[in-house]
């Protein structure tokens, strides 16, 4: 691989000049610039990004921590981030945190040791305090799907409360009055917020929430099935079910079907996230759209603007979810 040395020699200029035309950050005469460009071309020169990083103290890489690399959710997010970063010539280094505190911290340490210029984090297990401390260090971070008041500017989040509200509201407007709620793990803020949204909608319609119709799962489809079993076992009537995410909704739907319940005739179900699978399950799932790809993109823009000085970019911190109507929820039967 050719080095800057050979380029400078071939072009008959100094190292510094070659560096200048590469970064075009200082005035170089048209003539010289062309000589250098020609030499680069001729040698097939590619700057060594490692050396650039060491010398400039910027690695041009952004670290990303997601809970999992597989699964329907994070792919969209990564895709959004990568697209935006790549277009700006930055690259992404990825680690998985597996929703466990130790693993998340470990991943963050790993990314830091890799000299990332900034971190985009989707973390769940780590505490607010830890993140605040991290943000006060000299590693810039942006948080996806998490809102911490002290770090408001660094958070790209969804109004989960509104989502829970909208999901519930839809069913209420369709005439349902007996609703069950299948929550995510309540230690996760998104699960909690969605639940609160549900409660608000219920209250708004003058309905009191029956705690017996609440089940708490872990966002996996298997727990959706398990929770549905529990709910049915109680023998309490309900004509609609709000699930805190699509996967649990899918699990619940399966159990409902096994119990001879038709969806949506006997039971309306609404999910949350609008994963790909929402379009594949039968009947197609009515759900709340989570624009995670767009949010990833926005997190990348945050970094481009705040770290790489692309001032022109517009930022947006809080996203509003919208309802996506499909086939799994319908008006309550007239009789």
User: Closest distance between DNA and the C-beta of residue 9, in Å?
Assistant: 11
Up-side HSE of residue 49: CA atoms within 13 Å toward CB?
8
- State the Cα–Cα distance between residues 216 and 295, nearest whole angstrom: 27
Q: Which option in its own copies, DNA, none does residue 23 bind, with CB closer than 5 to 8 A by kind?
A: DNA
Please report the DSSP string for 153-169 in residue order: GGEEEE-HHHHHHHHHH
3-state secondary structure 37-78: HHHHHHHCCCCCHHHHHHHHCCCCEEEEEECCCCCCCHHHHH
- State the Cα–Cα distance between residues 181 and 270, nearest whole angstrom: 10
- Contact in structure between 119 and 108 (CB atoms under 8 Å): yes
- State the Cα–Cα distance between residues 44 and 47, nearest whole angstrom: 10
Q: Which option in DNA, its own copies, none does residue 12 bind, with CB closer than 5 to 8 A by kind?
A: DNA
What are the residue ranges of helices labelled H in the chain?
Answer: 4-11, 15-23, 30-43, 49-56, 74-87, 101-113, 128-136, 160-173, 189-204, 221-233, 246-258, 277-280, 292-306
Binding mask 220-239 for its own copies (x = CB under 8 A): -x------------------
Find the binder of its own copies among 24, 27, 30, 46 (CB under 8 A): 46
Find the binder of DNA among 1, 233, 312, 334 (CB under 7 A): 1
- The residue among 13 and 292 lying less far from DNA, judged by its C-beta, is 13
Find the binder of DNA among 34, 42, 56, 127 (CB under 7 A): 56
- Does position 281 bind its own copies by CB under 8 A? yes
- State the Cα–Cα distance between residues 294 and 297, nearest whole angstrom: 5
Q: Which option in DNA, its own copies, none does residue 22 bind, with CB closer than 5 to 8 A by kind?
A: DNA
Find the binder of DNA among 10, 28, 242, 263 (CB under 7 A): 28
Instruction: Tell which positions 107-146 bind its own copies, by CB under 8 A.
Output: 109-110, 112-115
Query: By CB under 7 A, which span of 5-13, 78-86, 92-100, 190-198 interacts with DNA?
Result: 5-13
Please report the DSSP string for 205-218 in residue order: TTPPP-GGGEEE--
- Does position 102 bind its own copies by CB under 8 A? no
User: Closest distance between DNA and the C-beta of residue 47, in Å?
Assistant: 4
Q: Which option in DNA, its own copies, none does residue 29 bind, with CB closer than 5 to 8 A by kind?
A: DNA
Give φ, ψ of 245 to 5 degrees: -155, 170
Could you list the residues that contact its own copies (CB under 8 A)?
A: 46-51, 53-54, 59, 61, 68-72, 74-76, 78-79, 82-83, 86, 91-96, 109-110, 112-115, 221, 250, 257, 276-277, 280-282, 293
């Amino acid at each position: 691989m050719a080095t800057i040395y050979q380029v400078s020699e071939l072009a008959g200029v100094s190292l510094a000049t070659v560096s200048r035309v590469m970064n075009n950050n200082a005035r170089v005469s048209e003539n010289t610039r062309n000589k250098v460009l020609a030499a680069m071309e001729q040698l097939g020169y590619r700057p060594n990004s490692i050396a650039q990083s060491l010398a400039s103290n910027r690695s041009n890489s952004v670290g990303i921590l997601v809970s999992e690399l597989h699964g329907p959710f994070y792919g969209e997010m990564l895709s959004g981030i990568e697209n935006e970063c790549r277009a700006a010539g930055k690259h992404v280094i990825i680690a998985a945190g597996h929703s466990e505190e130790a693993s998340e911290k470990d991943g963050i340490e790993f990314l830091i040791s890799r000299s990332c210029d900034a971190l985009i984090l989707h973390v769940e297990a780590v505490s607010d305090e830890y993140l605040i401390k991290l943000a006060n260090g000299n590693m810039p971070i942006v948080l996806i799907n998490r809102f911490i008041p002290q770090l408001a500017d660094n958070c790209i989040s969804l109004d989960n409360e509104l989502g829970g509200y909208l999901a519930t509201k839809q069913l209420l407007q369709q005439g349902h009055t007996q609703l069950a709620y299948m929550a995510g793990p309540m230690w996760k803020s998104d699960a909690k917020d969605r639940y609160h949204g549900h409660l608000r909608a219920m209250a708004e319609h003058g309905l009191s929430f029956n705690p017996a119709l609440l089940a708490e799962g872990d966002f996996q489809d298997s727990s959706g099935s398990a929770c549905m079993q529990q709910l049915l076992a109680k023998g309490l009537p309900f004509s609609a079910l709000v699930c805190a995410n699509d996967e649990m909704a899918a699990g619940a739907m399966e159990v409902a079907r096994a119990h001879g319940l038709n969806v949506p005739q006997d039971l309306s179900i609404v999910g949350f996230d609008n994963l790909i699978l929402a379009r594949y399950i039968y009947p197609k799932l009515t759900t709340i759209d989570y624009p995670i790809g767009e949010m990833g993109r926005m997190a990348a823009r945050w970094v481009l603007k705040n770290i790489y000085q692309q001032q022109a970019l517009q930022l947006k911190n809080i996203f509003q979810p919208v309802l996506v109507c499909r086939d799994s929820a319908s008006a309550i039967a007239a009789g």
